Amino acid sequence: MLAKIILITLLQITLALNDFKIQRKRLPDAILIGAKKSGTRALLTFISTHPNVSAADSEIHFFDKYYHLGLDWYKSQMPYSNDNQIVIEKTPKYLVDPKVPQRVFQMNKNIKLIVILRNPVTRAISEFVQSQHRQKRNINNVNEQSKRFVRMLYESKNQNFTIRKNWNIIKNGLYVNHIKNWMEYFPLESFVFINGDNLIQNPHDELEKLQKFLGLKPIIKKENFVLTNQKKGFPCIRLDSQNEEVKCLSDQKGRQHPKIPDNVIKQLQDFYRPYNNELFELIKQEPFWTV
């Protein structure tokens, strides 16, 4: 009897040790590289509910800010995971920083790259609103925000006012330029491109695409999403379709946008059109928005 008890105890200890070994920190299998203000946080929130995903909650900025700290430091910033989980990190700045692609390639040439894209005109306004909020510049005065956006949008050249192509808020939406930088190191098959506008309207479609790309069992479905904030319009995800528990984005998401004059919107659309056309030809997909 004593021998049987000892055997069972040893077995339990062995199983516990095995579980301990499985739970560890390791470098990511996939990186959500951007684009900024296109729904990266929503996408990460949704995919994180999958039991076979372990995601870093905060933006780590290893490849753009902290590369000098080394891969061991990067690994230490990862969440604990087991062998059945895919580890994901999200830092939207990676998409637009030209030195990042080579660094990622040197770490893992087979890594999966997640890109979420939104209409660049809407994205630019959203990033501008975020920048104003961080600077605490009349964030509740949308009329003043609209005027400030227009003032910052244009530059005088040869007595003509043209869009400031090098303004980061505009440049960040030149997606094709950034994707080209990445494709100098990674083939098209390394990327999945998520429609950020459709993520709000039909999140299950985009999550189906992402789960397939990551090789996950497609358990996040249409019935897992519920709209609980009609004002902001973002869906929440039900962790279990059999109960009422939901996970939503923070209240900071979905800030009110200023009303930009129609003629300015049209000029922005005209400005981005050739870049958009080149982008969707490059990634071999139908346009996500009207170009």
289 domain residue, yes or no: no
User: Mean of the per-residue pLDDT values for the chain?
Assistant: 89
Q: How far apart are CA 220 and CA 238, in angstroms?
A: 9
Q: Is 135 annotated as a binding residue?
A: no
pLDDT tens-digit map of 93-129: 999 999 999 999 999 999 999 999 999 999 999 999 9
Q: Any binding-site annotation on 37? A: yes
Q: How far apart are the first and last CA of the chain?
A: 77
Residue 186, pLDDT above cutoff 70: yes
Note the pLDDT of residue 179. Answer: 98
Mean per-residue pLDDT, 2-20: 51
Q: Is residue 2 part of a domain?
A: no
pLDDT surpasses 80 at 159? no
What percent of the chain is modeled with pLDDT above 90?
73
1 belongs to a structural domain: no
Query: Cα angle vertex 163, ends 161, 166, to 5°?
Result: 125
pLDDT digits (tens, 9 = 90+) for 55-89: 999 999 999 999 999 999 999 999 999 999 999 99
Does residue 228 belong to any structural domain of this protein? Answer: yes
Show Cβ contacts of residue 118 under 8 Å, excluding neighbours closer than 6 positions.
35, 37, 38, 39, 126, 196, 197, 288, 289
What pLDDT, on the 0 to 100 scale, is given for residue 74?
A: 98
Higher pLDDT among residues 59 and 228, named by residue: 59
SS3 category, 31 = strand
Full-model pTM: 0.88
266 is in an annotated binding site: no
240 has pLDDT over 80? no
Count how many domains the chain has: 1
State yes or no: 38 annotated in a binding site: yes
Confidence at residue 15, expressed as pLDDT on a 0 to 100 scale:
47
Residue 171 sits in a domain of what CATH number? 3.40.50.300
> Is 230 assigned to a binding site?
no
Q: Which helix (H) or strand (E) holds 16?
A: helix 2-22
Q: Is 35 or 235 the better-scoring residue by pLDDT?
A: 35
How confident is the model over 247-268, as pLDDT tens digits?
Answer: 888 766 666 788 999 999 999 9
CA dihedral sign of residues 199, 203, 204, 207: positive
188 occurs within a structural domain: yes
Please give the average per-residue pLDDT across 282-287, as a whole number. 97
The partner residues of 246 in beta bridges, in order of sequence, read 238
3-state secondary structure of 171: helix
- Confidence tier at 20 by pLDDT (50, 70, 90): very low
With respect to residue 288, please indicate whether it lies within any of the assigned structural domains: no
Give residue 64's domain range.
Answer: 23-283
The answer to whether the annotation marks 148 as part of a ligand binding site is no
Measured at the alpha carbon of residue 209, what is the angle toward residues 207 and 214, in degrees to the nearest 5?
A: 90
Q: What is the mean pLDDT of residues 27-54?
A: 96
Q: Does the annotation list 247 as a binding residue?
A: no
Q: Which residues are catalytic?
A: 37
- Burial of 275 by CB count in 10 Å (0-12 exposed, 13-18 middle, 19+ buried)? middle
C-alpha pair distances (Å), 101 with each of 14, 31, 176: 42, 11, 14
Question: In this structure, is residue 4 part of a structural domain?
Answer: no
pLDDT, tens only, 21-37: 468 999 999 999 999 99
Say if 290 falls within a structural domain: no
Annotated binding-site residue? 126 = yes
